[in-house]
């Protein structure tokens, strides 16, 4: 996965730990939570989202330039840490968007406390275990296999060369660290929280669930579960698309999310 760099990188301190954060755009607040391999080729701070929102895109604890507190061992811990970040940034009546494990973190946050959430967007996310299908193994496979699992059709991915570019030693070290942290957070139980489905029904926040119809990591069944479990959710599937719709089908993705956000009151 490419190490996407944004133009507006800064740091904030949360509970005594430095957090790397990217910020762009103007308007009401939108917090974007990245997946386990980072932002990829989709920069939310310069995307169409930034035309209507001030987009905050932090790196999770233990990823990229954010320190890992000693007490962070689970995605639920990350959700608590990110809620502290929200408080530090002074966000209120904000939109919460998450992809993959970022969507899982967002779902955990919403289940904890939704009073200042204006809208929630869950994108091809971990967190729930399918009843019929399976979550695909991604930790014990090669980098090439993992890359192929992330897209339905690599030939249609804009800027795909960025994913196969040679890494500097520094970039390779960051990628290794991200993988290690992802495994630490979500190895057991594997990429889900058995308790989460029991809490999602209490989330009343307007929610959009976006899913690549051919997601080879988290099957569409997971998206259907999120849409069913969240009491005020709508499911939008993107056909001919895999696990990363914002990168593989950016036009379709941008149309879906901007339409939903425009309808929020």
Query: 51 CB contacts (<8 Å, ≥6 apart)?
Result: 25
Give buried/exposed letters for 128-141 (b at 16+ CB in 10 A, else e). Answer: bbbeeeebbebeee
pLDDT digits (tens, 9 = 90+) for 161-214: 999 999 999 999 999 999 999 999 999 999 999 999 999 999 999 999 999 999
pLDDT at 115 over 50: yes
Q: pLDDT digits over 118-175, tens only?
A: 999 999 999 999 999 999 999 999 999 999 999 999 999 999 999 999 999 999 999 9
pTM: 0.97
* Cα 227 to Cα 233: distance, rounded to the nearest angstrom: 5
CA distances from 245 to 51, 105, 204, 214, 226 (A): 20, 18, 25, 10, 17
Q: Are 109 and 97 in contact (CB under 8 A)?
A: no
β partners of residue 236: 210
Residue 5: per-residue pLDDT? 53
Q: Are 89 and 22 in contact (CB under 8 A)?
A: no
pLDDT, tens only, 21-75: 999 999 999 999 999 999 999 999 999 999 999 999 999 999 998 999 999 999 9
DSSP 192: B
- Bridge partners (DSSP) listed for residue 97: 32, 121
CATH (residue range 9-262): 3.40.50.1820
């Amino acid at each position: 996965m490419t190490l996407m760099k944004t133009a507006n990188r800064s740091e904030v301190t949360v509970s005594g730990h430095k957090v790397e954060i990217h910020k762009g755009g103007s308007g009401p607040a939108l917090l974007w939570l990245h997946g386990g391999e980072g932002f990829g080729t989709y920069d939310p701070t310069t995307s169409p989202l930034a035309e209507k929102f001030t987009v905050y895109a932090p790196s999770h604890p233990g990823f990229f330039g954010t320190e890992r507190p000693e007490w962070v061992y689970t995605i639920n811990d990350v959700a608590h840490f990110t809620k502290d970040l929200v408080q530090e940034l002074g966000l209120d009546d904000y939109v919460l968007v998450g992809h993959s494990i970022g969507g899982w973190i967002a779902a955990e946050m919403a289940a904890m406390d939704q009073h200042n959430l204006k809208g929630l967007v869950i994108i091809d996310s971990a967190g729930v275990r399918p009843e019929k299908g399976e979550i695909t193994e991604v930790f014990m496979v090669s980098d090439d296999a993992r890359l192929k699992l992330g897209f339905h059709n690599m030939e249609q991915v804009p800027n795909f060369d960025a994913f196969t570019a040679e890494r500097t030693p520094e970039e390779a070290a960051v990628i290794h660290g991200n993988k290690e942290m992802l495994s630490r957070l979500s190895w057991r139980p594997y990429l889900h929280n058995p308790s989460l489905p029991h809490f999602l029904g209490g989330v009343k926040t307007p929610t959009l669930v976006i899913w690549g119809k051919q997601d080879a990591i988290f099957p569409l069944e997971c998206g259907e579960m999120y849409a069913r479990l969240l009491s005020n959710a709508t499911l939008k599937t993107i056909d001919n698309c895999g696990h990363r719709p914002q990168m593989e089908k950016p036009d379709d993705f941008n149309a879906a999310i901007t339409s939903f956000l425009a309808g929020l009151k």
